[in-house]
Amino acid sequence: MSATERPRFIYAYAEMALVAEDVRRNRAEGDPGLVDAGKLTSEAAANRLRISTAIAIDWKAYAAMELPPLDRTTDAEKIADLKAVLAGAEKRRDQARAAMANEYGPSVDALSLNELWTIHDSHDTRSLRVLPYLHWESYAAAIEAMLWWQMRPRYEGRRFVTMINQQLLGMGYVAQERAAA
């Protein structure tokens, strides 16, 4: 994804906040086990948790149309972290898609996301394999959107847009529901 392509979840702030918090929680709960197993240094685990916490705080605030507090986490750190998390989510998504194709045949690859959601919503028996794919597809889409926003120039970033929206609301120019994206 380039910085100019718009991801699907670009305005799904609440969903991005949920995924960011999930990443933070997974690291808080899972990284100590990786440190104990020798797969991750304690310094790396602390750094991963610091960065994911900053991202989760950012998106919780943006979802509430508030400015997050400034911290020492750099944009470069956030971008690198989101890229790593996206790679993991895409891997899980692709594994779930392969499991679907293995069970239901190659024709499932031709189905759109809307068709897959319809299968799930209709409680079709295939939904047992469809739901994990849809979960990871949505998870990856939310991370991709966070990454897109993080890669924007400062004057186009989520922080700047939120600040402008707050100013417009404060001046009474627009209702909250109609504030600029």
For the segment 71-115, what is each residue's pLDDT rounded down to a tens digit?
999 999 999 999 999 999 999 999 999 998 888 888 888 888 888
- Per-residue pLDDT band for 175 (boundaries 50, 70, 90) equals low
For the segment 37-48, what is each residue's pLDDT rounded down to a tens digit?
999 999 999 999
Its pTM stands at 0.86
| Pick from 84, 78, 86: nearest CA to 53 | 78
Q: How far is CA 76 from the centre of its chain?
A: 17
Q: In the 8-state DSSP scheme, what is residue 70?
A: P
SS (H, E, C) 105-153: CHHHHHCCHHHHHHHHHCCCCCHHHHHHHHHHHHHHHHHHHHHHHHHCC
Q: Where are the domains positioned within the chain?
A: 13-178
Whether the pLDDT of residue 141 is over 60: the answer is: yes
Percent of the chain with pLDDT over 90: 58
Structure tokens that stand for 10 in this block: 């670009």
| Pick from 94, 88, 71, 76: nearest CA to 26 | 88
